[in-house]
Amino acid sequence: MDDGLPSVPRFAVLHALAAGVDFERYFRWRRSRAGDPFFVRFPGFGSALFTGTPAGAREIFRAPPDLTEPPRPNPIEPMVGTASLILAAGARHRRDRTLLAPAFHGARIRAYGELIGDSADDEISGDTAGSTAWRPGVRVDSRAAARSITLRVILTAVFGVDSDERRGEYTAAVTEFLTAFSGPLMLVPALRRGLFGQAPWDRFVAARARLDRLIHADIARRRGAPRPASTDILGLLLSTGYDDGTAISDNDLCEQLRTLLVAGHETTATSLVWALFHVHREPAVLERLRAELRAAGPGAHPAELARLPYLDAVCQETLRLHPAVPIVLRRLTGPFELRGVALAAGDTMGVAVPLLHSDSGVWQDPERFRPERFLERRYSPFEFAPFGGGHRRCVGATLAEYELRIVLARILDRVRLTLPPRYARGRAPLSVPHNIATGPHRSIPFDVVA
């Protein structure tokens, strides 16, 4: 991929991320030096040609499906596994997506509304293991609270987990798993080596094995039992099969479920933290949102909450400023031209979503948190793409958006929060990679007030 465009030094990205440099500002800096499109070299993973314009996103998202696939090696492959839908390509991707997509259809997602609302209520009331009731004077760790809520939702939605003991086992295993996959392991493949059981890689492999044992035990238990109609995703996948009549293997099913478990709660938790942060920094936004919730009434059904226009706008604006996965990458299987730059089979191209969501030709005053913009007009999928786009758009996007709206509404309806002074003013915290998503460099605390 040598077309004369400047590229960054080989370890610039690694150094920037390890130092906590804002991911979004880094891409803006790259574009200011090289224009659009621009190359970025990832240590251990090769180079990628990035665009941050709607025209460029259109070209990538509309590329023929058989011409693109996920880049390999992939930074998150150790987490999700080779069978994960995120990494599947070609016919395998079409087959697996057809199998998984029914679990995320609208009617099925809406059935989780009460579960989502109850999970938020339990966290606020202190009824979740390890949590404290959100009473006046309590300081809430927003990241921990958000993860607790979304993990409870995904455990029930995927596995039907309904006992405190089983939920506790999964929570401990998932927490250990996410903690073990540190930034260096994600960004530097050379570190993925064992050393007598003491290296970071050894600890990660052990944590992954612990989580997989829980998942395989649930698969075995459910395969060996009668299969009544089930509302959870595991039950659905066990009761259906591929178009050719074959069933998904236990190992492949484990990796798909592990992907849903990890990606299905971490990204939504991060978005919830950002939403709470922004609405509590903007008094006018907070008051307008609370007024809409009051008008809906305390007994509003979750589906009704999810349709509230200003709540929707707040959530969309949060995802615009803070897409949980800020990079969309495609590896080419044949020649392609992106924004006039010729690429060959094996080359990688991508959308820098933070640049797309701040394009001055689309977004007025893009640095500002202004939900009203989503009430004033509709944006195309090439202008606003928080869940990617094209045939590889996130299969769980509907659940993530639904959950974000309901949980945010429940929290604002039930408690009054304030940001400590250091967070209430000035610049937003840095956004850096956290496992499968990017989020605030440090957890953002909130104080509960009367």
Please give the DSSP secondary-structure letter assigned to residue 299: T
Please check whether residue 5 lies inside any domain of the structure.
Answer: no
CA dihedral 139, 145, 146, 147 (to 10 degrees): 140
Please check whether residue 225 lies inside any domain of the structure.
Answer: yes
Q: Spell out where 115-243 has E strands.
A: 139-141
Please check whether residue 256 lies inside any domain of the structure.
Answer: yes
Helix 250-279 to helix 164-180 angle (10° resolution) is 80
Please check whether residue 266 lies inside any domain of the structure.
Answer: yes
Q: What is the pLDDT of residues 210-221, one digit of tens each?
A: 999 999 999 999
Please check whether residue 276 lies inside any domain of the structure.
Answer: yes
The Cα-based distances of 249 to 83, 84, 100, 246, 301 in angstroms read 10, 13, 14, 9, 38
Please check whether residue 391 lies inside any domain of the structure.
Answer: yes
Give the pLDDT score at 14. Answer: 46
Number of domains in the chain: 1
Q: What is the pLDDT of residues 239-272, one digit of tens each?
A: 888 888 888 999 999 999 999 998 888 899 999 9
pLDDT value at 204 more than 80: yes
Give the pLDDT score at 49. Answer: 95
pTM equals 0.91
pLDDT value at 1 more than 60: no
Please check whether residue 85 lies inside any domain of the structure.
Answer: yes
Assess contact for 288 and 310: CB atoms under 8 A. yes
Give the pLDDT score at 21. Answer: 52
Task: Select from 69, 101, 61, 55 the least CA-distant residue to 391.
Answer: 61
Please give the DSSP secondary-structure letter assigned to residue 429: P
Assess contact for 120 and 407: CB atoms under 8 A. yes
| Rounded Cα–Cα distance for residues 407 and 405 (Å) | 6
Show the domain range for 434: 12-441
Q: Which residue has the higher pLDDT, 207 or 188?
A: 207
Name the band, by pLDDT with cuts 50, 70 and 90, for residue 426. Answer: confident
Contacts of the segment 422-425: beta carbons below 8 A, 24+ positions apart: 423/277, 423/281, 424/280, 424/281
Report CA 4 to chain centroid distance, whole Å.
35
Give the pLDDT score at 226. Answer: 66
pLDDT value at 224 more than 80: no
Give the pLDDT score at 170. Answer: 94
Averaged pLDDT for residues 135-159: 94
Please check whether residue 449 lies inside any domain of the structure.
Answer: no
Report CA 22 to chain centroid distance, whole Å.
18
Helix 250-279 to helix 397-414 angle (10° resolution) is 40
Note if the bond before 37 is cis, omega within 30 degrees: yes
Give the pLDDT score at 76. Answer: 87
CATH code for position 206: 1.10.630.10
pLDDT value at 165 more than 70: yes
Name the band, by pLDDT with cuts 50, 70 and 90, for residue 44. Answer: low
Percentage of the chain surpassing pLDDT 70?
92
Percentage of the chain surpassing pLDDT 90?
64
Q: What is the pLDDT of residues 74-127, one digit of tens each?
A: 888 999 999 999 999 999 999 999 999 998 988 888 899 999 999 999 999 997
Helix 250-279 to helix 142-159 angle (10° resolution) is 140
| Rounded Cα–Cα distance for residues 319 and 366 (Å) | 13
